[in-house]
Structure 1
């Protein structure tokens, strides 16, 4: 983990740290399983940010204003969250066209979230397809 991200996460409550680390691991796992190349990990707008070549940036964060959740952010001018809401309307809560809201108690595992991360990391090759090819 990049030291700046580790430092950022260390300021959060333990439950939030754990959940963010679970999402982070899933991002790296999805990228590796799909041979998407190196994941660029950095801070953008003060949030942990992840990107692979040909993908759309994924950001993750916890905010004291909403202490019971972490959020997985996607570029709001893509069709990502719109597509996720269409195919996974009951699995997640959403914040507008920019984020999935994950309770600190939610299990982060393969499945719907993994699929959403995959679509984001492959976005530029899928953006012309209906429902991003899902």
Structure 2
């Protein structure tokens, strides 16, 4: 299934991507496409809302309320790093660390950090994104 990545609705979000160094921008755009692809192919997630939170591109399941917000951001100025951020009040990053102990570099309980010089393990990352986008729904189902 081929998913069409939507154009930017918010010029402020697009500006954040455009302000990144070229290599980081390319990788972050690929992450953005992956987030939209996973949302479109994961049952119950529905349409994503793309906005800025803390000045960073953020992806919310505003309609379905099925998941936890995912943010992305470049590393510090001059860095070749970029990261996906997850709500630190969830168990998401701890779960990712248990499932994928060597596939990713983690920062505390809030992010997966990437470098433009490295390879992104796409299938593992898609699984992590799907877990985030269904976090609230899965938590509710586990309580039921």
Is the pair's TM-score, using the shorter chain for normalization, greater than 0.5? yes
**Match of residue 49 from structure 2:** 40
Show the 5 A alignment for 1:86-125. 86-108=98-120, 110-125=122-137
- Structure 2, unaligned stretches of length 5 or more? 1-7
Give me the whole-angstrom Cα distance separating, in 1, the residues matched to 2:108 and 2:77.
17
What TM-score, normalized to structure 1?
A: 0.89
- Structure 1, unaligned stretches of length 5 or more? none
Query: What is the aligned length?
Result: 130
Give the drift of 1:110. 3.6
Are 1:54 and 1:124, in contact at CA under 8 Å, matched by a contact in 2? yes
Are 1:73 and 1:99, in contact at CA under 8 Å, matched by a contact in 2? yes
Are 1:60 and 1:72, in contact at CA under 8 Å, matched by a contact in 2? yes
Please report the RMSD computed on the Cα atoms of aligned residues, expressed in angstroms: 1.8
Give the drift of 1:115. 0.2
**Match of residue 69 from structure 2:** 57
Are 2:85 and 2:111, in contact at CA under 8 Å, matched by a contact in 1? yes
1:47-98 residue CA offsets vs partner (Å, 9 max, x unmatched): 0000112100000000325712111000001000000000001000000000
**Match of residue 4 from structure 2:** none
What TM-score, normalized to structure 2?
A: 0.83
Give me the whole-angstrom Cα distance separating, in 1, the residues matched to 2:118 and 2:31.
11
1:79 matched to 2:79? The reply is: no
Are 1:92 and 1:101, in contact at CA under 8 Å, matched by a contact in 2? yes
